[in-house]
Structure 1
Amino acid sequence: MIIRSLLDTDLYKFTMMQAVLHQYPAAQVQYRFKCRTPNIDLASHLPRIRAEIDALCTLYLADDELDYLRGLRFIKSDFVDFLGLFHFDRKYVRLEASAEVPGEIELVIEGPWLHTILFEVPLLAIINEVYFDALGQGDAEEGLRRLQAKLQRLRAIPDAAACAIADYGTRRRYSRSWHGRMLPLLRDGLGAQFVGTSNVYFARQYGMTPMGTMAHEWLQAFQALGPRLRDSQGAALEAWAREYRGDLGIALSDVVGIDAFLRDYDMYFCKLFDGMRHDSGDPFVWGERMLAHLAANRADPRTKSLVFSDGLDVDKVERLSAHFRGRCRLAFGIGTNLTNDLGPQALNIVIKMTRCNGQPVAKLSDSPGKSMCDDPDYVRYLRQVFGLPPEEISA
């Protein structure tokens, strides 16, 4: 059994789920899976993937796990009470081989947002582990050698204490056991430079800080939930602030592109939020624009955090740290490069929200190929509403 606890997921799924319970418990959503890595045969692994999903749907949170969640400062008691009753419902997941592309799979999650929001991370982890277990080419000793080399380079970064490193690798990890093995090595190897993990289960097991705030789906949903499409980003950030009252204050900036984000991220948000997270586009350009925007809105960039999390490796961390050192607070969420670097090529797989309350929603990424929507007409309309030239963003 790959997933053995409902805590084996990213913190931001719980933080968003709590906000959904309190503000939009009746919302209905749809998510779709996509493998961005070409020529990967996942269809042949469907029997085991289905069996693992069935097993996932038997899990409940134990009393000691609920007590752990209740002890997190930003988790409210009524949400923990709800989680005490929660389990995954298999009827919300449709999984089959693609009828159009041999080897590909069609995975659709559809149902109440409150009851489907947690599916994403464990399903991606299941697909990854089933695939790599069948491939059988991972070399743990090679993985350890590569990890130690990365730790040595990260420790050598000047002013390493100001270069915070977190693990964001649950969704695309090589395996659950490897994830659990490498995290203590990461903690012990980096010391104070290592600030925590997005994985709630391992954070509890190893006494680490669980890390995370919001994901793209939170802002995407407001394209259907908000008062006006044009105001959806502002409405999503307001709703987040209403839920957490200044806690968990890292805003995600690339749901409809950086230009639209900066138009909506006014002085109020610049001062209210603790920082912004980068997840697509050129990180150096993004960082410069964010720092300039903060300064223009009378928010001291040195008091704010830039969180980088887009396909990071050690080389990117080194270069970004050197470029922005001393100008702001820096944090780096490293995912696949830490948890799935044992030899075989890692998969680039995602599950993204595509509809909310029957309406299409979309992420228009600053990186070509990362956008995802099943309605081209809606993408064109979204671009028009936010003033995005069609040639600048690929859907």
Structure 2
Amino acid sequence: MRTIDRIIELLGSDAESLLKYESKSIPKDSLVVPGPHSVDNFIDSDRSPQVLKSLKQLYDHGSLGGTGYLNILPVDQGIEHSAAFSFYKNQAYFDPENIIKLAMEAGCNGVASTFGGLALHARKYAHRIPFIVKINHNELLTYPNKYDQIPFGSVREAWDMGATAIGATIYFGSEESTRQIQEIAAAFEEAHQLGMATILWCYTRNSAFKKDDKDYHSAADLTGQANHIGVTIKADIIKQKLPETNFGFRDIGFGKQSQEMYESLTTDHPIDLCRFQVANCYMGKIGLINSGGGSKGDSDFQAAVRTAVINKRAGGCGLIMGRKAFQRPMDEGVTILRSVQEVYLEKEITVA
């Protein structure tokens, strides 16, 4: 079976609406579309040759190397969601070496994980696959739970272990966001001075972002603005959840917004909602990778391919997917990661 036919089969009833859609609110021609030239987006920037080399290493590694697209394996859930809850489905991943092995076997561009997990095997693997060290986390052992991203180590530690990039999370909209923005802006500047690339997990977090039983944490307008703040503090790549709704500013009743803004920039089509996010990443000059979300069993393959198709057709540059891959046997994890890569390698799937 041809690759495109497998993708169509997995998309099911969504195939035509996703593969044939033509986006008009923000035209394709206004975007900087991912491609072999992607690192050249920084050619006139203040990024040093060492940073450009690190970005090139990340973009050129693995099955998607040289395409301008990224498929990264992120495993920091042992801290973010507790290790037992994250790894009980596949106990092998209590051992961080297996996380690195999964990323390598699947042909990922890089592996993102914790200081301890990557440091333990840095001498063996840091030169074989790009390391992305996650420098801050939300830990859930404090009781009652609090939701705050705190540093777990220094930028210099990540550089010492041979990291290609650092990753960090900011909870935009939270009470702690001002401090987090300041911390990560400083960390990103230090990383650039040392020659590393920067990836920002741009997540929204505020109890007020849920209203009338509707959750706006993944609204296109709120996540888009989080992206825009992220690129402002010089993230080289933005990680964001795929938008599932819109009108967060309007319906919650804060920020600056107008009905005309929504009507001119997007529609309710999933590709247009994602393009809203891409536009807020300097019209695609800063790459947008969407997250794969949690594992729900048999539907994971379909969900992963659907997310990849939306991201690619919107103008994004890839997928960063963890739980759908590591919460299953390694051979299945490899298969689902490669199925995502096939979307980005398939020439018949183009930017809408």
TM-score normalized by the length of structure 1: 0.35
Q: From the CA coordinates, give the structure whose radius of gyration is larger.
A: 1
- What TM-score results when the alignment is normalised by the length of structure 2? 0.39
